[in-house]
Amino acid sequence: MKIIVNNESDRLTDEDSLWYVQQVINEERGSDNGKSYCYCVNFKTGIVVYATRNKKSDIFRVCDSK
């Protein structure tokens, strides 16, 4: 399994965006009967992480809340 992180935030470095993805991963796969990570996680800091999944990878989009 591969993890893809797309940092679409205007204010986070790539390293900072990985911290947010790590927080989502630490919560484990809770959606789709334990097959997927939570689709959308809003942090109090104004950062949003979207998670999607395909056959070979988990994809995370890290964005600024708008």
Structure confidence by residue, pLDDT tens digits, 32-41: 777 788 899 9
Which pLDDT score is estimated for 46? 97
DSSP helix/strand/coil, 41: strand
Within the chain, which residues score under 70 in pLDDT? none
pTM value? Answer: 0.90
Q: Which residue has the tokens 């965006």?
A: 17
Task: From residue 42, give the alpha-carbon distance in Å to each of 10, 32, 54, 57.
Answer: 16, 19, 22, 22
Which pLDDT score is estimated for 62? 98
